[in-house]
Structure 1
Amino acid sequence: MTGRTIPAGRPGPTAIRETWRQLQDSVGEDAPRLRAAILGLLLAAALQGLALAAIAPVLVAAFDGRDWPGALRWLGICTILMVAATAARWWAQGFDFNGRMAAATHRVRLRLGEQMRRMPLEMLHGHRTGELNSMVINNVDENLLTTLTILNLIFISVVTPLVTGLALLVLDWRAGLLVLVVFPAILPLYRWRRPAIGRGKRILGAAHQQANADVLEYTQGLPVLRAALQAGARAGRLERTFRKLEEIQIYGHRKGEKPNLIVSTVVELGLVLMLGLGVAFVVAGEMDLALLAALLVIVVRLSEPLATFILYTAILELIEAALDRIKALLAISPLDQALPARTPAHCGIRFEAASFAYAGADAPALRDVDLTIPEGSLTAFVGPSGSGKTTLARLILRHADPQKGRILIGGADLRQIPESALRGMLSVVFQDVHLFNDTVMANIRMARPDATEAEVREAARAAQCLDFIERLPLGWNTPLGEIGSRLSGGERQRISIARALLKDAPILILDEPTAALDTESERAVQRAIDAVVRDRTVIVIAHRLSTIAGADQIAVVDDGRVVQLGTHSALLARPGRYRAMWEAQLAAKIWSGRA
C-alpha cells in the first residue's frame, strides 16, 4: 500500500463531547459512578503531579541548605501525596474491579440484542452475521472494558506534567517554565494527527468486521465447500481478506511511524533544551544545582508518558470508532406501530396497491399489487426467480412495510396490529431451515415454550419425525449441532413443520419447503404438510407447479406484479405466463424421462 493515502471520504473522528455522551449512554444507570471514577483518575493524576513537584524542595532542603527537618517534612508531604494518588486511582478503577464495567458491558449487549429483535428484518439482513458478531462482542469490549485504563494513561501523560509544572512555578518560576516548555508542544501534535488517526482506526475496524464475517461464512460453509471441491478456492478469498487486513495494519503503522517519531523527538529535544537552560541558569547563579537535579528526576519520570501520549490517544480512537458503530446500529428505528391498535376480525389477507423497493435497488420488487387471499384458502405464489414471490411473503410477515399501499389481515392494517398479536397469527416453514445447537425437544418446543412434552411429541408424530428421532443417539435429548448439521435436509424440514404444527397459528406460509429434497424426503415432507395446512389460511411459494395444482387460487407473479390469478385449470385454459411455465416444466419432465 505504499504511496496510498487513507480515503478522504471515510468518516473522521467524533467530537470529544459526542464521544463522552455516547460513553455515558453506554453505561446507562452507572453513568454517575463512571463520571465519579473519571474525576477520581483526574484527581489521582493531579496528586501525582504535586507529589513529583514536592521532590524539588526535598532535594533543595537536603543537599543545598542541609535543612534535614525541612527535607523530612517535604518528603512526608511527597509520600502523603503519592499515597493519596494511589488511593484515588484505586478507588476510581474500582469501577472496573467491582464488576460495574462488566455489568455495563452486559447491558450494552442486551440492548444490541433487543435492537436486533426490534429492527426491521430487511435491514438486519443487510448486515452479515460475522459483522454483527464482531459488533456485539469485540466492539462492546473495545467500547467499555479498556476505557478507564486508557483514560488513566492519558491523564498521566497530560494532567500530571501540567500540574507538576504549575506547582514548580510557585517554588521557582524557572523550574516551572522548564517543565512546561515540553508540554504545550504535545497538544498541537495531537490535534494535527487526530483526524488521520480517527479515519485509520475506523478503516481498521471495518476491516476487522469484514474478516470476522468471512471467517464465519467460510467455517459454516466448509462442508459444502469440501463437497464442491471449493474449500481451497474460497480459502483464497479468505486469504485475500486477511491480506487486506494486513495491508491496512501495515499502512497504519507506517503512517503512524513519522508522527510517533516526531512526538518522541519533540519530547527528547525538549528534555535536552530543558537540561541546557537549567545548566545555564545554574552557571549564572540563578538556580540551585539541587533544584536542577530534582528537575532531571522529574523529567525522567514524565518523559515516557509524554512520548507515548499519541499511542494512548490512538487506542481512544478505537473506542470512539466502536461507539460510533454501536450508535449506528441502535439508531435504526423499528417499524412504526400505527394507532389505534386493531385486532383482525378474521384471517383473510389483502394487498391494496402495495409497492416495495429494497434499499439501494435499481427497480422496485413489487409494483401496485392488488391481491385477496380468502380466509381458510390455499393460495400459491408462482413465477420466475426474482419475480417478487418471496417479497410478498416477507411483507405479510412484516419484515418491512410497503412504501406505497398497504397490507391488511382481517381488515386491519398490519401497521395497526400489535407485533405480538401478528407474530401469534403466523407460522412459517422456510426452504432453508435454521435449527439451533440444542436438543430435538428444545428445537420443536421453541414454537410454543409452554407446550407439554406430550404436545411436542404429537406435533412431531404428525410431521413424520418420530422415525428418525428414535434413531438419534440420545433420542429427543440429542443436540442437533450447528444449524442442525446432524440431520438431513428432509429431516430438518420435518422438524420445522413440527414447529408450525405445535404453534398452531391460523396463517401458514410455506416457502418452497420441498424444492431441494429427494423424492423420498419430499413425500415424507408433503405428508407432514398435508397435516399442517388443514383449517388454516395457507400461502405456498412454489417452483414445481405440479405440487400446487390443487390450490384454491394461484397468483402468477412476474416483474413485481400479479399478472394472472385463478385456479390451475382456469389458468391452463387461457394463454399466459402460467400455461407457458406449465408446458415448459412438462417438456423438461418428458425430456428427463427419455434421457
Structure 2
Amino acid sequence: MTNPGKRGPTPIRETWRQLMESVAPDQARFRAAILGLAAAAVMQGLALAAIVPLFVRAFDHQDWPDTLRWLLIVTALMAMTAGLRWRAQGFDFNGRMAAATHLLRLRIGGQMRAMPLETLYGHRTGELNSMVLNNVDENLLTTLTILNLIFISILTPLATGLALLVVDWRIGLVILVIFPAIVPLYRWRRPALGRGKRILGEAHQQANADVLEYTQGLAVLRAACQAGARADHLSHTFRRLEDIQVYGHRKGEKPNIIVSTTVEVGLMLMLGLGVFWVVNGSLDLAVLAALFIIVVRLSEPMATFILYTAILEMIEAALAKIKALLGVAPLEQRLPVAVPQRHDIRVSDVGFSYVGAGAAALNGISLTITSGSLTALVGPSGSGKTTLTRLILRHADPQHGQVLIGGVDLRQIPELELRQMLSVVFQDVHLFNDSVMANIRMARPDATDAEVLAAARAAQCLDFIERLPQGWDTPLGDIGERLSGGERQRISIARALLKDAPIVILDEPTAALDTESERAVQRAIDSLVQNRTVIVIAHRLSTIMGANQIVVIDEGRIVQQGSHNALLKEPGRYRDMWQAQQSAKMWFGEGRGAEVG
C-alpha cells in the first residue's frame, strides 16, 4: 500500500466517487442531501441580495405595498433556505448517516475476513482499530456539516453577487471580484493541507497502535521492569504527534491569515466604495445600509473557508485509507469449484516469500501427508514450519507450486468448506471476553449444551470449569486472562473437538506448560487426534517419537524426512537435535529438556 502522506491531493471527482461508495446503498438520498444543501446556500444568497430592494422600498415611506412584497420575498427565500437545509440534514437527523457508517464498518469487517491473513498481519491492531472507528467517523459523520459550511462560503456569495448585478451592477461586480480571490488561495494551500492531514492521520494511527500495545502488554512490561522504558517510547509517540500538530498549526496560520485578510479587506473595500458612491450621489443610502448587512453575513464564512476545507482534507485522507484497505484483493477462487472427498495433503514444489523479505521463507517444499496419519514438523525457529502450516490453512497462497487436499488445489475449494475441514490448536490461545460455554461453542454455534459438555470433558476441562466463580457462565476476560496457560490450551482443544474437523494442526500446544498442565493437555490432544489427519509443529522431539513421519525443515527446505528411528540411524540435523535435547535432559535431571531454537 502506498504511503498516504507522500501522495498529492486527491482529485475532487475521485473524492466524490469514494464518498458515494462509502454511503452505499443510500447514494441517491445522500446525493439529494448534498444537492439540497447547495440549493439552500443559493437561496440564502438570493435572500441576501433581496435585502437591497427591500431596504430601498422601506426607506421610501410612500411605497409600503412594494416594501411588503419584498419583505415577503425575503421571508419566503429564507424559509426555503431553512426548509431545504433541514430536509437535507435530515439524512443525519433520521439516522441514515449512522446507518451508512454502520454498513461501512461491516464492509471493512467483511474485507478483513476476506483478505489474506498474511496481509492483515502487516497492520497493527491499533491501526485497524483507528481505521474502523476514527476513519469511518471522519469519513461520514461530519461530511454534510462541512459541505454545508463550504457551500455557504462559495455558493452564497456567488448567488448574491450574480443577483446584485441586476440591482446594482457595480456592487454585484465587486462581490464577484472578491469571491474568486479565495479560489487560487485555496488551490495554493490545498497540497500542503492534504499532505499535512495525511501525516497527522498516520501519527494518530501510530499513537492508537502504541497505546493498545502498551496497555495489552503492561503485565509483561512490569514483570520485565520495562514499563517505564516502553512508557518512554509511548511518550515519544505522543511528542511526535504533538510536534506534527504544532507544525501543522504554524504552517496553517499564515495561509489562514492571508485568506481571511484578503476577504476582510475586499469586503471593507466594497463598503468604502459604497460610501464613496453614496457621497457622490450615485448610490442610494438604503443600498449602503443593505450592503452592511450583506458584508456581515458573508465575511465570516468566506474568511474561514480554508478552515472548512482543512476538515474536508481530513475526510479525503480517511477515504484514501479506507479505499486502500478495501482495495486489497481477496485470495483467488479458482474454477471449477471442487470439494475434496479425501483428507490427505500434498505440498508440491511450494515456494513462498513474505512481502519485503530478503530471502524466501519456503523454497521448493514437496511433502505428502496421508489421511489419518500424524506428521511432525521440526526444525529451528524461523526455518519455515509455521509458514508451511499457514499455507495449508490458506492464510496466503504460495507464489510457486500448490497445496492440495484430497487432490484438490486449495484455490479451488470454497473458503467455508476449507475452514470446516481444518481445526487448529495454536501455541498462543486467544479466548474472548465471553463465557466458557460461548468460547467453546464458537467452534460450532449450533452445538447443543450436551455436545459442548462432551467436548469439554474429552479435553480435560471440567475440573477447572467447576472451580470458576460462575462455572460455565464465567466471563474469561480479555484474551482469557482468568485462566492459566494450560487451561486456555484445553479450552482451545475442546473447541477443536467440538468442531470435529478431519484435519488438525497443532502448533506446539504444550511448549510453555508446566509438567502437570502438559499431561492434562496431552491427554486432551490424544482424544483430539484420533482418526484424523494431524500435523504438529514440535520443538521437544520426545513428544513426537510415535509420529508416522517426521519432516525436518531448515532455511525453508526439507533437509530430512522419515520416522524417528530411521532418522536417528543417519547423520543429520535430526540426530544432532535429539542428542542435544537428551544431553540437556540429563543435565537438568527430570526437567523438561531444552527447546530447539
Same fold per superposition (TM over 0.5): yes
- Pick from 501, 510, 513 the counterpart of residue 505 of structure 1: 501
Q: Within 2, Cα distance between the matches of 1:348 and 1:594?
A: 38
Taking structure 2 as the reference length, what is the TM-score of the superposition? 0.97
1:230 aligns with 2:223: no
Q: Within 2, Cα distance between the matches of 1:196 and 1:477?
A: 55
1:403 aligns with 2:399: yes
1:321 maps to which residue? Answer: 317
1:13 aligns with 2:13: no
- Pick from 308, 326, 331 the counterpart of residue 330 of structure 1: 326
1:447 maps to which residue? Answer: 443
- The farther-off stretch of 500-509 and 290-299 is 290-299
Q: Within 2, Cα distance between the matches of 1:274 and 1:280?
A: 10
What is the deviation of 1:11?
A: 1.2
How well do the aligned residues superpose, as a CA RMSD in angstroms?
Answer: 1.4
Alignment of 1:102-141 (within 5 A): 102-141=98-137
Structure 1 residues 320, 479: CA separation in 2 closer, same or farther (over 3 Å shift)? same
1:482 aligns with 2:470: no
The C-alpha deviation readout for 1:168-219, integer Å capped at 9, x for no partner, is: 1100111212322321111110111011100111111111111111111111
- Pick from 26, 39, 43 the counterpart of residue 43 of structure 1: 39
What is the deviation of 1:586?
A: 1.6
Equivalent pairs: percent with the same residue?
75
What is the deviation of 1:153?
A: 0.4
Is the CA contact 1:462–1:498 (under 8 Å) kept in the aligned structure 2? yes
- Partner letter of residue 424 of structure 1? Q
Is the CA contact 2:5–2:198 (under 8 Å) kept in the aligned structure 1? no
Q: Secondary structure at the match of 2:24?
A: helix
1:357 maps to which residue? Answer: 353
Aligned residues: 589
Q: Within 2, Cα distance between the matches of 1:472 and 1:594?
A: 32
1:81 aligns with 2:77: yes
Q: Within 1, Cα distance between the matches of 2:87 and 2:406?
A: 61
2:388 maps to which residue? Answer: 392
1:213 maps to which residue? Answer: 209
What is the deviation of 1:268?
A: 1.6
Alignment of 1:507-522 (within 5 A): 507-522=503-518
Q: Within 2, Cα distance between the matches of 1:524 and 1:593?
A: 22
Q: Within 2, Cα distance between the matches of 1:514 and 1:149?
A: 56
- Pick from 291, 297, 305 the counterpart of residue 293 of structure 2: 297
2:575 maps to which residue? Answer: 579
Q: Within 2, Cα distance between the matches of 1:288 and 1:175?
A: 12
- Partner letter of residue 322 of structure 1? A
Structure 2 unaligned regions, length at least 5: 592-597
Is the CA contact 1:57–1:74 (under 8 Å) kept in the aligned structure 2? yes
Alignment of 1:275-294 (within 5 A): 275-294=271-290
1:3 maps to which residue? Answer: none
The C-alpha deviation readout for 1:418-469, integer Å capped at 9, x for no partner, is: 1111111100000010000100000000001111101101110111100000
- Pick from 441, 455, 461 the counterpart of residue 459 of structure 1: 455
What is the deviation of 1:8?
A: 11
- Partner letter of residue 431 of structure 1? Q
Q: Secondary structure at the match of 2:531?
A: coil
Is the CA contact 2:344–2:371 (under 8 Å) kept in the aligned structure 1? yes
Q: Secondary structure at the match of 1:408?
A: strand
- The farther-off stretch of 134-143 and 340-349 is 340-349
Q: Secondary structure at the match of 1:359?
A: coil
- Partner letter of residue 556 of structure 2? G
Q: Within 1, Cα distance between the matches of 2:162 and 2:330?
A: 53
Q: Within 2, Cα distance between the matches of 1:290 and 1:79?
A: 19
- Pick from 28, 35, 38 the counterpart of residue 32 of structure 1: 28
1:53 maps to which residue? Answer: 49
What is the deviation of 1:57?
A: 1.1
Structure 1 residues 503, 594: CA separation in 2 closer, same or farther (over 3 Å shift)? closer
- Pick from 389, 413, 430 the counterpart of residue 434 of structure 1: 430
Is the CA contact 1:153–1:305 (under 8 Å) kept in the aligned structure 2? yes
What is the deviation of 1:162?
A: 0.7
Q: Within 1, Cα distance between the matches of 2:93 and 2:449?
A: 45
What is the deviation of 1:235?
A: 1.2
Is the CA contact 1:463–1:494 (under 8 Å) kept in the aligned structure 2? yes
The C-alpha deviation readout for 1:144-167, integer Å capped at 9, x for no partner, is: 111110000000011001101111
Q: Secondary structure at the match of 1:428?
A: strand
Alignment of 1:145-184 (within 5 A): 145-184=141-180
Is the CA contact 1:64–1:290 (under 8 Å) kept in the aligned structure 2? no
Taking structure 1 as the reference length, what is the TM-score of the superposition? 0.97
1:4 maps to which residue? Answer: none
Q: Within 2, Cα distance between the matches of 1:141 and 1:66?
A: 56
What is the deviation of 1:590?
A: 2.3
1:414 maps to which residue? Answer: 410
The C-alpha deviation readout for 1:548-591, integer Å capped at 9, x for no partner, is: 11111100000000110011111111110111111111222222
- Partner letter of residue 101 of structure 2? T
The C-alpha deviation readout for 1:87-120, integer Å capped at 9, x for no partner, is: 0100011111111111111110111111111111
- Partner letter of residue 554 of structure 2? D
What is the deviation of 1:405?
A: 0.5
The C-alpha deviation readout for 1:344-377, integer Å capped at 9, x for no partner, is: 1311111110000011110110000011111111
What is the deviation of 1:58?
A: 1.5
Is the CA contact 1:64–1:288 (under 8 Å) kept in the aligned structure 2? no
1:143 maps to which residue? Answer: 139
What is the deviation of 1:66?
A: 4.8
Q: Secondary structure at the match of 2:376?
A: strand
- Partner letter of residue 516 of structure 2? E
Alignment of 1:265-284 (within 5 A): 265-284=261-280
Is the CA contact 2:353–2:362 (under 8 Å) kept in the aligned structure 1? yes
1:530 aligns with 2:529: no
Is the CA contact 1:182–1:270 (under 8 Å) kept in the aligned structure 2? yes
Q: Secondary structure at the match of 2:501?
A: coil
- Partner letter of residue 435 of structure 2? T
Is the CA contact 1:178–1:278 (under 8 Å) kept in the aligned structure 2? no
Q: Within 1, Cα distance between the matches of 2:539 and 2:588?
A: 17
Q: Within 2, Cα distance between the matches of 1:526 and 1:84?
A: 76
Q: Secondary structure at the match of 2:6?
A: coil
Q: Within 2, Cα distance between the matches of 1:226 and 1:21?
A: 49
Q: Secondary structure at the match of 1:93?
A: helix
Q: Secondary structure at the match of 1:181?
A: helix
What is the deviation of 1:9?
A: 6.7
The C-alpha deviation readout for 1:293-350, integer Å capped at 9, x for no partner, is: 2111100111000011000000011111111111111111111111111221311111
- Partner letter of residue 279 of structure 2? V
- The farther-off stretch of 451-460 and 266-275 is 266-275
Is the CA contact 1:431–1:511 (under 8 Å) kept in the aligned structure 2? yes
What is the deviation of 1:65?
A: 6.5
Q: Within 1, Cα distance between the matches of 2:57 and 2:5?
A: 59
Q: Secondary structure at the match of 2:337?
A: coil
Q: Within 2, Cα distance between the matches of 1:376 and 1:506?
A: 8
Q: Within 2, Cα distance between the matches of 1:381 and 1:98?
A: 58
1:469 maps to which residue? Answer: 465
Is the CA contact 2:161–2:175 (under 8 Å) kept in the aligned structure 1? yes
Q: Secondary structure at the match of 1:210?
A: helix
1:250 aligns with 2:246: yes
Q: Within 1, Cα distance between the matches of 2:380 and 2:47?
A: 78
2:366 maps to which residue? Answer: 370
Q: Secondary structure at the match of 2:349?
A: strand
Q: Secondary structure at the match of 1:387?
A: coil
